[in-house]
Amino acid sequence: MSGSRSLQSALHDSVVQNVCRDVKALGPKGRTDDLESILHRRMGDTSFEACCVMRLLRELGKANESKASLAVLHCLQQRNLEMNSFLACASIAICRRISAWTQAVHVLREMADSQMERNTITYNAAVSACEKGEQ
């Protein structure tokens, strides 16, 4: 069982590295549909778990690839991956980073509609996104 788990973890690590490499190759002017094409191609090879998505978002965040991070979340929604509170909070934090206040409020509303747990950190990130977007 642990061998299977470590193999899956290695596969996820490989996918995360490949996605990050491809996103960086696009450069800052990469189009959203190009990003989503990369994500569908790379992520379609494996079933992505929330922990792997968090790793991918963390790596994209370190590389200052906020646009790609939002594309990851959009891709996951298209694949019907269940949004949990960790992914939602990460999404709002990304929105804050790029001053995407409307998207931050949308995610917060989705959390409320899904009766997902919201906390001070979530609300602070959403408020910060609104402040950065001058709303």
- The more confidently predicted of residues 5 and 133 is 133
Q: Hey, what amino acid is at 3?
A: G
pLDDT at site 50: 66
Place of tokens 């997902």: 116
Query: Per residue in 42-90, pLDDT tens?
Result: 766 555 666 777 788 878 777 777 777 777 777 776 766 666 777 788 8
CA atoms lying within 13 Å on the CB side of residue 100: 16
pLDDT at site 81: 65
pLDDT at site 1: 47
Lowest-pLDDT choice from 3-12, 70-79, 110-119, 122-131: 3-12
- Check pLDDT > 80 for residue 126: yes
Kindly write down the DSSP assignment for every residue of 38-89, as one continuous string.
Answer: HHHHHHTTSPPPHHHHHHHHHHHHHTT-HHHHHHHHHHHHHTTPPP-HHHHH
